[in-house]
Structure 1
Amino acid sequence: MPFQPVQPEKLSSAVIRQIERLILRGVLRPGDRLPSERDLAERLAVSRPSLRDAIADLQERGLLTKRAGSGIFVAEVLGSAFSPALVQLFGNHPEAVHDFLSFRRDMEGLAAERAARHASNLDLQVIDRAFRRMETTKTRPDPQEEADLDAAFHMSVIEASHNVVMLHMMRAMYDLLRQGVMFNRARMFAQNTTREELLAQHRAINDALQSRDPRAARQASEAHLDFIADAYEAQRKTDRNAETARQRIEHDTAE
């Protein structure tokens, strides 16, 4: 018979599995600080030596990192998703932005559709709260704050899709976006009319999700990314025209 004696599990192994699951599911995010050793041991109901063994194992495997004088943090495991050379290549070639936006359109459309089907009521509350925070920036717009809130809204939708592979892949995408590697969002969305359009698009995504309408959620998400792609192309055209005008002025001045 294919049965083996059941071996008692070490407490440190159970701790390792729990922390791994929290990282995998996106509950613990890169850069999050773990509670103090005493607090965490009490929460997990394990001895501090067992906890230390688990932390050491996770550190050795690159999931946790220790910062002198600060504590234990979830490692920036997404940093290895794109090599520095590839990130620089993305930033230097506009066609990469087109592919970046196309990829986001496909993935986020699917994520919105999945979220409408699989999100818990709490997931939907998180998404709605993220959108309401975006609304508050209308009276005091700040480009960096708007970009952060925009990213937080989209990540809340991706998290609500409950697909861990998509979650970690898209977090890597948004890391590039936050760094401004792909394009300058502040310049592209500087005008108030564009800001209002963007807010309306996010509202459509949120409304469809709150109604649990998979088709409408996907369509709203795809329409939003189409708008961003069009805005980026318009920005590139404006930049090209400005460069041409500058060259003409320089030429006329030199004569």
Structure 2
Amino acid sequence: MPFQKIQPEKLSHAVVRQIELLILRGILRPGERLPSERDLSEKLGVSRPSLREAISELQDRGLLVSRAGAGVYVAEVLGAAFSDALIRLMGTHEEALFDYIAFRRDLEGLAAERAALLASTTDLQVIGAILAKMEAAHDKRDPTDEARLDAEFHLAIIEASHNVVMLHMIRAMFDLLRQGVFYNRQIMFGQRTTRDMLLDQHRAINDALQARDPTGARTAVERHLDYVEEALSAQLQSERNEAVARQRLEHELGKT
């Protein structure tokens, strides 16, 4: 008969599985600090020795790191998605910028479509709450908060699609975006007309998601990223034109 005796599971193994799932599902994020040993053992209902054994195993697997005097953190596991050489290469070639936007358009359009179908009521509340924060930040002269919330809004949609592979792929891409590898988001949000358009586009995405309209959600995301592509293309052309104009001015001023 194909039956085996049930073996009691070590508490440390149960702790490992729980923390692994929290990382996989994107609930515990790279760089996030875990509660203190005492608090975490109480939350999990296990002894400190069992917790230490689990933490040690997760560190061996590269999922957690210990920082002297600072505690235990979720490892920056996303950093391994791209080598430093590839990051530098992508940051110096315009082709990579537009491939990046195309990648986002395809993947985020699919994620929005999935989110409209699969998101829980709480997922949609999170997306709506982030949009409300974006609207509040929109009136500020400094676009920093609105640009940050823009990333959070898009990541919340990915989370609401409930696909962990997609989640970690997009998080890796947004990490590069925060580093300014592809383009400076502050410049885009610094222009009032562009900021107005971007906010309206985010509202349209949210409206479709709240209505659970998968086609509308995907279309709204694609239109948004089409606009981003057009705005960046215009910005790059403007920078090229300005460089040529400065050369002309320098030449003119240098004439005797």
TM range (shorter): over 0.9
Runs (5+) with no aligned partner, structure 1 = none
Residues 67-120 of structure 1: CA deviation (Å, up to 9, x unaligned): 111111111110111111000001100110000000000000000000000000
Q: Tell me the residue number matched to 1:220.
A: 220
Matches of 1:240 and 1:228, distance apart in 2: 18
Matches of 2:26 and 2:2, distance apart in 1: 36
Match status 1:52 vs 2:52: yes
Match of 2:18, as an amino acid? Q
Q: Tell me the residue number matched to 1:146.
A: 146
Q: Tell me the residue number matched to 1:230.
A: 230
Match of 1:87, as an amino acid? I
Q: Tell me the residue number matched to 2:176.
A: 176
| Shift in Å, 1:61 | 0.9
Matches of 2:141 and 2:17, distance apart in 1: 43
Equivalent residues in 2 for 1:19-30 (5 A)? 19-30=19-30
Provide the secondary structure at the position in 2 that maps to 1:66: strand
Residues 187-229 of structure 1: CA deviation (Å, up to 9, x unaligned): 2332211110000000000011111110100000010000000
Determine what percentage of the aligned residue pairs are the same residue: 65
Match of 2:247, as an amino acid? Q
Matches of 1:55 and 1:142, distance apart in 2: 41
Match of 1:212, as an amino acid? R
Q: Tell me the residue number matched to 1:166.
A: 166
Contact 1:108–1:221 (Cα < 8 Å) also in 2: yes
Match status 1:72 vs 2:77: no
Match of 1:125, as an amino acid? Q
Matches of 2:102 and 2:179, distance apart in 1: 19
How many residues were matched structurally? Answer: 255
- Which has the higher mean CA deviation after the structures are superposed, 140-149 or 235-244? 140-149
| Shift in Å, 1:6 | 1.4
Q: Tell me the residue number matched to 2:156.
A: 156
Matches of 2:175 and 2:147, distance apart in 1: 12
| Shift in Å, 1:254 | 1.7
Contact 1:147–1:178 (Cα < 8 Å) also in 2: no
Contact 2:31–2:73 (Cα < 8 Å) also in 1: yes
Matches of 1:229 and 1:28, distance apart in 2: 32
Match of 2:34, as an amino acid? L
Alignment RMSD (CA, Å) = 0.9
Runs (5+) with no aligned partner, structure 2 = none
